[in-house]
Structure 1
Protein backbone atom coordinates (compact mmCIF):
# COMPACT_ATOMS: atom_id res chain seq x y z
CA UNK A 1 0.00 0.00 0.00
CA UNK A 2 2.83 2.39 0.90
CA UNK A 3 4.50 1.99 -2.50
CA UNK A 4 1.18 2.54 -4.30
CA UNK A 5 0.51 5.70 -2.27
CA UNK A 6 3.97 7.08 -3.07
CA UNK A 7 3.43 6.36 -6.77
CA UNK A 8 0.06 8.12 -6.68
CA UNK A 9 1.39 11.16 -4.83
CA UNK A 10 4.46 11.42 -7.09
CA UNK A 11 2.39 11.41 -10.26
CA UNK A 12 1.55 14.91 -11.52
CA UNK A 13 -2.02 15.48 -12.58
CA UNK A 14 -2.90 16.87 -15.99
CA UNK A 15 -3.29 20.64 -15.58
CA UNK A 16 -6.22 20.78 -18.00
CA UNK A 17 -9.68 20.64 -16.47
CA UNK A 18 -11.89 18.05 -18.18
CA UNK A 19 -14.84 19.52 -20.09
CA UNK A 20 -18.13 19.30 -18.17
CA UNK A 21 -19.61 17.10 -20.90
CA UNK A 22 -17.04 14.41 -20.05
CA UNK A 23 -17.59 14.07 -16.31
CA UNK A 24 -16.37 10.45 -16.34
CA UNK A 25 -12.87 11.85 -16.92
CA UNK A 26 -12.93 13.06 -13.30
CA UNK A 27 -12.29 9.49 -12.13
CA UNK A 28 -9.93 8.44 -14.92
CA UNK A 29 -6.18 8.51 -15.58
CA UNK A 30 -6.74 11.97 -17.05
CA UNK A 31 -6.80 13.38 -13.50
CA UNK A 32 -4.67 10.71 -11.75
CA UNK A 33 -2.13 12.11 -9.28
CA UNK A 34 -1.79 15.42 -7.46
CA UNK A 35 -1.16 18.91 -8.75
CA UNK A 36 2.38 20.22 -9.06
CA UNK A 37 3.13 22.29 -5.95
CA UNK A 38 6.84 22.94 -6.54
CA UNK A 39 6.20 26.60 -7.45
CA UNK A 40 4.11 27.20 -4.30
CA UNK A 41 5.48 28.61 -1.08
CA UNK A 42 5.34 25.61 1.28
CA UNK A 43 5.15 27.92 4.32
CA UNK A 44 1.96 29.60 3.09
CA UNK A 45 -1.13 28.53 5.08
CA UNK A 46 -3.21 28.66 1.89
CA UNK A 47 -0.77 26.39 0.03
CA UNK A 48 -0.69 23.94 2.95
CA UNK A 49 -4.48 23.78 3.05
CA UNK A 50 -4.76 23.38 -0.72
CA UNK A 51 -2.17 20.60 -0.75
CA UNK A 52 -3.82 18.86 2.21
CA UNK A 53 -7.21 18.88 0.49
CA UNK A 54 -5.72 17.76 -2.83
CA UNK A 55 -4.01 14.77 -1.21
CA UNK A 56 -7.17 13.83 0.69
CA UNK A 57 -9.40 14.01 -2.40
CA UNK A 58 -6.88 12.17 -4.57
CA UNK A 59 -6.59 9.30 -2.10
CA UNK A 60 -10.36 9.03 -1.74
CA UNK A 61 -10.75 8.96 -5.52
CA UNK A 62 -7.91 6.61 -6.51
CA UNK A 63 -7.10 4.40 -3.52
CA UNK A 64 -10.14 2.15 -2.95
CA UNK A 65 -8.45 0.21 -0.13
CA UNK A 66 -8.57 3.31 2.09
CA UNK A 67 -11.71 4.66 3.74
CA UNK A 68 -12.29 7.70 5.98
CA UNK A 69 -9.11 9.36 4.73
CA UNK A 70 -7.90 12.42 6.63
CA UNK A 71 -4.71 14.37 6.07
CA UNK A 72 -3.18 16.58 8.76
CA UNK A 73 -0.35 19.05 8.21
CA UNK A 74 2.33 18.55 10.85
CA UNK A 75 4.42 21.47 12.11
CA UNK A 76 7.96 21.90 10.76
CA UNK A 77 10.81 24.32 11.39
CA UNK A 78 10.35 27.70 9.74
CA UNK A 79 13.55 27.21 7.73
CA UNK A 80 12.45 23.89 6.19
CA UNK A 81 11.14 23.67 2.65
CA UNK A 82 9.67 20.28 3.45
CA UNK A 83 6.12 19.74 4.58
CA UNK A 84 5.07 16.90 6.83
CA UNK A 85 1.69 15.26 6.64
CA UNK A 86 0.03 12.48 8.55
CA UNK A 87 -2.39 10.46 6.43
CA UNK A 88 -4.89 8.50 8.54
CA UNK A 89 -7.43 6.06 7.17
CA UNK A 90 -9.06 2.68 7.52
CA UNK A 91 -7.36 0.03 5.40
CA UNK A 92 -10.00 -2.33 4.03
CA UNK A 93 -8.54 -5.79 3.42
CA UNK A 94 -11.62 -7.99 3.40
CA UNK A 95 -12.61 -9.37 5.89
CA UNK A 96 -10.44 -7.11 8.08
CA UNK A 97 -10.52 -3.33 8.41
CA UNK A 98 -7.54 -1.82 10.19
CA UNK A 99 -6.65 1.79 11.08
CA UNK A 100 -3.42 2.94 9.42
CA UNK A 101 -1.29 6.09 9.41
CA UNK A 102 1.34 7.16 6.91
CA UNK A 103 3.88 9.82 7.89
CA UNK A 104 4.47 11.66 4.64
CA UNK A 105 7.06 14.26 3.67
CA UNK A 106 6.87 16.64 0.71
CA UNK A 107 10.26 17.93 -0.43
CA UNK A 108 9.36 21.21 -2.17
CA UNK A 109 12.83 21.49 -3.73
CA UNK A 110 12.53 18.15 -5.50
CA UNK A 111 8.74 18.04 -5.77
CA UNK A 112 8.78 14.56 -4.27
CA UNK A 113 6.64 12.83 -1.67
CA UNK A 114 8.19 10.22 0.61
CA UNK A 115 6.25 8.03 3.00
CA UNK A 116 8.24 6.98 6.06
CA UNK A 117 8.67 3.25 6.27
Structure 2
Protein backbone atom coordinates (compact mmCIF):
# COMPACT_ATOMS: atom_id res chain seq x y z
CA UNK A 1 0.00 0.00 0.00
CA UNK A 2 2.69 2.44 1.04
CA UNK A 3 4.78 1.82 -2.06
CA UNK A 4 1.84 2.45 -4.40
CA UNK A 5 0.98 5.74 -2.64
CA UNK A 6 4.60 6.91 -2.81
CA UNK A 7 4.80 5.89 -6.48
CA UNK A 8 1.63 7.84 -7.27
CA UNK A 9 2.93 10.97 -5.58
CA UNK A 10 6.28 10.57 -7.34
CA UNK A 11 4.45 10.35 -10.67
CA UNK A 12 2.63 13.62 -9.94
CA UNK A 13 5.88 15.37 -8.96
CA UNK A 14 7.81 14.22 -12.01
CA UNK A 15 7.61 15.98 -15.37
CA UNK A 16 7.47 13.68 -18.37
CA UNK A 17 9.14 14.94 -21.52
CA UNK A 18 7.59 13.36 -24.58
CA UNK A 19 5.10 14.15 -27.31
CA UNK A 20 2.22 13.59 -24.89
CA UNK A 21 4.20 14.55 -21.79
CA UNK A 22 2.98 16.06 -18.55
CA UNK A 23 4.17 18.86 -16.32
CA UNK A 24 5.27 18.31 -12.73
CA UNK A 25 2.39 18.80 -10.28
CA UNK A 26 1.99 19.34 -6.55
CA UNK A 27 -0.92 17.63 -4.84
CA UNK A 28 -1.59 20.07 -1.95
CA UNK A 29 -4.24 17.99 -0.11
CA UNK A 30 -2.69 14.58 0.41
CA UNK A 31 -4.51 12.79 3.24
CA UNK A 32 -5.87 9.34 3.98
CA UNK A 33 -9.37 10.25 2.80
CA UNK A 34 -7.93 10.98 -0.65
CA UNK A 35 -6.33 7.55 -1.02
CA UNK A 36 -8.39 4.83 -2.70
CA UNK A 37 -7.55 1.19 -1.90
CA UNK A 38 -8.02 -1.36 -4.67
CA UNK A 39 -8.94 -5.03 -4.19
CA UNK A 40 -5.29 -6.06 -4.53
CA UNK A 41 -4.44 -3.54 -1.74
CA UNK A 42 -2.60 -1.23 -4.10
CA UNK A 43 -3.64 2.39 -3.77
CA UNK A 44 -4.26 5.40 -5.95
CA UNK A 45 -4.47 9.08 -5.15
CA UNK A 46 -7.92 10.56 -5.71
CA UNK A 47 -9.65 13.95 -5.48
CA UNK A 48 -7.25 15.91 -7.63
CA UNK A 49 -9.12 19.17 -6.93
CA UNK A 50 -6.06 20.71 -5.29
CA UNK A 51 -3.45 19.64 -7.83
CA UNK A 52 -1.68 22.76 -9.05
CA UNK A 53 0.73 23.95 -11.65
CA UNK A 54 0.39 27.59 -10.55
CA UNK A 55 1.65 27.02 -7.02
CA UNK A 56 2.01 30.71 -6.22
CA UNK A 57 -1.73 31.41 -6.38
CA UNK A 58 -2.29 30.42 -2.73
CA UNK A 59 0.23 28.48 -0.66
CA UNK A 60 -2.23 27.53 2.09
CA UNK A 61 -4.47 25.00 0.39
CA UNK A 62 -5.58 21.64 1.75
CA UNK A 63 -6.41 20.05 5.07
CA UNK A 64 -4.77 21.81 8.00
CA UNK A 65 -4.00 18.59 9.89
CA UNK A 66 -1.76 17.40 7.04
CA UNK A 67 0.01 20.73 6.40
CA UNK A 68 3.72 21.13 7.06
CA UNK A 69 4.62 23.77 9.64
CA UNK A 70 6.05 26.11 6.99
CA UNK A 71 2.69 26.06 5.20
CA UNK A 72 0.79 26.69 8.44
CA UNK A 73 3.08 29.54 9.47
CA UNK A 74 3.20 31.12 6.02
CA UNK A 75 6.97 30.70 5.74
CA UNK A 76 6.95 28.33 2.76
CA UNK A 77 9.14 29.53 -0.12
CA UNK A 78 6.37 30.00 -2.66
CA UNK A 79 8.86 30.50 -5.50
CA UNK A 80 10.27 27.01 -5.10
CA UNK A 81 8.50 23.96 -6.50
CA UNK A 82 10.88 21.93 -4.33
CA UNK A 83 9.38 23.53 -1.20
CA UNK A 84 5.90 22.44 -2.21
CA UNK A 85 7.17 18.92 -2.91
CA UNK A 86 8.74 18.86 0.57
CA UNK A 87 5.38 19.87 2.08
CA UNK A 88 3.83 16.96 0.15
CA UNK A 89 6.40 14.60 1.66
CA UNK A 90 5.44 15.82 5.14
CA UNK A 91 1.79 14.95 4.41
CA UNK A 92 2.92 11.62 2.95
CA UNK A 93 4.70 10.81 6.21
CA UNK A 94 1.48 11.48 8.14
CA UNK A 95 -0.45 9.22 5.75
CA UNK A 96 2.13 6.46 6.28
CA UNK A 97 1.97 6.94 10.06
CA UNK A 98 -1.82 6.64 10.02
CA UNK A 99 -1.68 3.47 7.90
CA UNK A 100 0.94 1.89 10.14
CA UNK A 101 -1.02 2.76 13.29
CA UNK A 102 -3.97 0.78 11.88
CA UNK A 103 -1.87 -2.28 11.00
CA UNK A 104 -2.03 -5.33 13.20
CA UNK A 105 0.79 -7.79 13.62
CA UNK A 106 0.72 -11.44 14.52
CA UNK A 107 1.84 -11.63 18.17
CA UNK A 108 3.47 -15.02 17.53
CA UNK A 109 5.82 -13.58 14.92
Kindly indicate whether structure 1 or structure 2 has the higher relative contact order, using CA contacts under 8 Å at least 6 residues apart: 2
Answer with 1 or 2: which has the greater Rg: 2
TM-score normalized by structure 2? 0.29
Which structure dedicates a bigger proportion of its chain to strand? Answer: 1
